[in-house]
Amino acid sequence: MTLTRQTKSKIMNKHFMTIFISIALMSQLSACAELKQTGKEIGHTTKKVTTAIGHGTRDTVKAIGHETKEVINEIKED
């Protein structure tokens, strides 16, 4: 049985499409992993920044509270 040129072309197109779709799917999976890693990095950075802001705010409020207490005690002594 001999295949015609048109039949050979259809078979080649099928193989090409299969290979093309496989490569496209693999590249999408790779992109997904990169997106996931980027999201993790953003999340960790956000956590570090908010923690630093929270600690700075806490320390400032404590310092203001101590200074205010000292001023009130000085006023009471006078």
Q: What is the pLDDT of residue 56?
A: 96
pLDDT of 58: 96
Report pLDDT digits (tens) over 14-52: 888 888 888 888 888 777 888 889 999 999 999 999 999
HEC letters along the chain: CCCCHHHHHHHHHHHHHHHHHHHHHHHHHHHHHHHHHHHHHHHHHHHHHHHHHHHHHHHHHHHHHHHHHHHHHHHHHC
Q: What pLDDT, on the 0 to 100 scale, is given for residue 68? A: 93
Whether the per-residue pLDDT at 1 is higher than 60: the answer is no
